[in-house]
Amino acid sequence: AASKAMADALHTDPHAAPLLFGSDVRHEVHVVWKFRGRDCAGRIDALGSTTVIDLKSARSAQPARLANAGRWAGYHAQIAWYMDGCAAAGLGPRVPYLIAVESGAPNPVVAMRLTERAIEQGRAIYRGWFETLLTCERSNAWPGYVQDVIDFDVPDDASFSLLIDGDEIEVA
Neighbours of 119 (CB within 10 A): 17
Task: Please check whether residue 104 is in contact with residue 59, taking contact to mean a CB–CB distance below 8 angstroms.
Answer: yes
pTM: 0.84
Contacts of 20 (CB under 8 A, 6+ apart): 10, 46, 53, 55, 99
Beta bridge partners of 34: 39
CA distance linking residue 155 with residue 135, whole number of Å = 33
Segment 11-55, tens digit of pLDDT: 999 999 999 999 999 999 999 999 999 999 999 999 999 999 999
For residue 161, the model assigns a pLDDT of 75
Which pLDDT score, from 0 to 100, does residue 155 have? 77
Which residues, listed in sequence order, are joined to residue 51 by a DSSP beta bridge?
95
Q: What is the pLDDT of residue 172?
A: 62
Long-range contacts of 134-138 (CB under 8 A, 24+ apart): 134/36
pLDDT in tens, 102-139: 999 999 999 999 999 999 999 999 999 999 999 999 99
Phi-psi region of 69 (alpha: psi -120 to 50; beta: other; left: phi over 0): alpha
More confident call, 162 vs 72: 72
Q: What is the DSSP letter of 165?
A: T
- Taking only the tens place, the pLDDT of each residue in 147-169 is 999 999 887 776 677 878 777 77
Backbone angles phi, psi at 145, to 5 degrees: -65, -40
pLDDT score of 165: 79
Say if residues 67 and 75 touch (Cβ distance below 8 Å): no
Residues 6+ apart with CB under 8 A from 44: 28, 29, 31, 52, 53, 54, 82, 86
